[in-house]
Amino acid sequence: MPNGAARGCARSPNLDLLSLIWLMLTAWLLLACQTQPNQIFIEVDGGRQSLTTQAATVREALAEAKVELGALDRVKPDLYTQLEPGLVIVVTRVKEEIEIEREVIPFERRTVTNEALATGETRISQLGVNGEDEISIRVVYENGVEVSRTEVSRSTVIQPSPEILVVGPQGELPSTPIDGTIAYIANGNAWLMRDSSGSRRPLTTSGDLDGRVFSLAPDGRQLIYTRALTDEIELPLNEMWLASTTIVGEAAITVGLQGVLYAEWSPVISQPLIAYSTAERTVSSPGWRANNDLWLYAPSRPPVSGEARRKAVEVIPPNTQGLYPWWGTTFAWSPDGTRLAYARADQIGVIELNRDQPISSTVTPLVDFAPLQTFSEWVWVPGLSWSPDGQFLAATVHGEPLANEPAEESQVFDLWLIGVANGLSAKVGRQVGMWANPAWGQNGIAFGMATDPLQSATSRYFIQLMDRDGSNKRQLFPFREELGVQLPELVWSAQGDTLLFTYNGNLYMIESNGAPPRQLTADGQASHPQWVAAAPLITSVTTPSTITTSTITLTTPVSPPQTISATSSPEREATMTLPNPMTTMTPTVTLTNTPIPLVTATPPVTQTATLTPSFELEENKGTPAP
């Protein structure tokens, strides 16, 4: 036993040593697996602090250091970066503010030529006033230091008013003979030419014509136009006025119609009639909502102020038919005054007037097409024109797309001839542009041809002429190296051989035979041209019991407008107005004991004529002609 005990005691120290080693190794391994604290540094709010931490990431370390981050603050390195000894964490404080600033908009200076002033004369018609823009600016600060400024939005709070300097013409244009009467708008006023361009004179001086309505009566004796009212939403868009073109200085009268989008005289001289359509003012763009109605109004002679609203007859009630009805419908009288063509954003048709009591109408659609998507606040409506015989319409029609674009986005606009009676249509011009605005005259169809047909909204246009079947196309303007016109405004003379158009704000005439164009105005402000035939010679006045048809032979030429005094045997007198040059003509003349002047010359000039009756007398109890 003692020996065995001794042997057992000899092994025990070895086992204890192994256990001790095992325990030490386990403890070392446990210590090695535990996270060791790191000393890091944090730079924030202008200072630097050190931190000994066992946090694993930058986010945890900032939270342990009680550093709160704002929504725009930046941290470098990223919040999810693992910590390492000696790591430097930089926190940048970021702040944004919106500042409101005012910026002055300098007024512009405009020079306007006014042919009513003498050559070289100048006047300031409007003083310039600066405007103001309100600008929102985003300002960014990093650690309290501004680092950037960015404009966020801008709006005009005060509109600038331009300074307008009106000057007289720098050089007079040669006077050009005109067969009939031309009216146009310049500088917001109505102007008139009769017999020659040298006779031009203003009909209005208010400067507030809005151009929505501007129509010369077919005999050239009266003009209707609309004047803009104020921008107050409670008031209508405008007001329609009627002015005489034959009596200088006679005041225009309001016909009592307001909010008029369209109005036009019937082409029938013997039955003065005005068709018109109305709209309501709105706050939203484009500033009005069309009623798409149609009214007829026959002005009395002489016209009475405000009578139109009492005497007008509704032919088509307000409606919202078609697409984009808020923009409105345009109309055009047929040559015989029995129908009106209409055009809207998606359709062209004809309205037959049934002049029974009460007046009614029949609407016949002729052509449907996809409306143009302008992606803006305006709507495209076709331009159209009647043939002289009233059997066809020439019209610009929105065409099919060239590729895979939607039909509403097609930039193709073609020229069509549309049969009114049979509805048959023929394309006579391809890709002419949206503002082709055809005008049908006796010698053919004039129209604008876009120089860039697929960008025709802003393109310039050449003026071309073709025969009524679409053949024999030829260019009238540019004649040499001129640019094309910006917007074709084409009007034929009554004879259909001379075309009136605007180019760079001036009126020009050009013959259909290709002669060089002749410039009529020089102020650069002309628009909305109108041209009607010379007023017929009205000399029908009555005697107590007879009417005489006579031949009048003048002894000397007469310069218009002049009052002619004629005598016969037995002694009676009559007056009339004759064009110049004119030496012999055969009008119908009725004699009366008291002269009735039709137009008074300034200064008056009287010529003597001899009247020789050529027909038997007949009873007539009529009243003097107007």
Residue 12, pLDDT score: 54
Provide the token pair at 430.
Answer: 């391809």
Answer with the one of 158, 182, 197 that is the final residue of a domain: 158
Domain identity same for 84 and 109? no
Asked if 77 and 101 sit in the same domain, the reply is no
Q: Per the domain annotation, does 395 fall within a domain?
A: no
Q: Do residues 154 and 86 share a domain?
A: no
Residue 238 falls within a domain, yes or no? Answer: no
pLDDT digits (tens, 9 = 90+) for 57-93: 999 889 988 899 998 999 999 999 998 898 999 999 9
Kindly state whether residues 114 and 44 are assigned to the same domain: no
Most confident stretch, 17-31, 165-179, 555-569: 165-179
Residue 86: give its domain's CATH number. Answer: 3.10.20.30
Last residue of a domain, one of 137, 158, 179: 158
DSSP calls for 551-579: EEEESS--PSS--EEEE-SS--EEEE---
Is 464 part of a structural domain of the chain? no
Closest CA to 278 of 304, 316, 307, 234: 316
Q: What is the pLDDT of residues 141-185, one digit of tens each?
A: 999 999 999 998 988 999 898 888 777 766 678 899 999 999 999
CATH of the domain at 128: 2.20.230.10
Same domain, 147 and 135: yes
Domain contains 110: yes
Q: How far, in Å, are 162, 295, 446, 458, 488 from residue 506 at the CA level? A: 22, 33, 19, 19, 12
Residue 57 lies in a domain: yes
Q: 3-state SS of the chain: helix, strand, coil percent to 5? A: 10, 45, 50
Identify whether residues 592 and 553 lie together within a single domain.
yes
100 & 66 share domain:
no
Q: Which domain holds residue 574?
A: 548-613
What's this model's pTM, rounded to 2 decimal places? 0.65
pLDDT digits (tens, 9 = 90+) for 181-218: 999 999 899 999 999 998 889 999 888 999 999 999 99
Residues 249-259 pLDDT 10s: 888 999 999 99
Given 158, 173, 204, which residue is the final one in a domain? 158
- pLDDT score at 507: 95
pLDDT of residue 485: 94
Core vs surface per residue 530-558: b (16+ CB within 10 A) or e: bbbebbebbbbbbeeeebbebebebeeeb
Of the two residues 403 and 330, the one the predictor is more confident about is 330
Do 75 and 145 belong together in one domain? no
What is the per-residue pLDDT for 479?
A: 85
Which one-letter amino acid corresponds to residue 32?
A
Residue 107 in domain: yes
Same domain, 33 and 80: yes
Q: Kindly report the backbone phi and psi dihedral angles of residue 19, in degrees, each rounded to the nearest multiple of 5, phi listed first.
A: -65, -40
Q: How many domains does the chain have?
A: 3
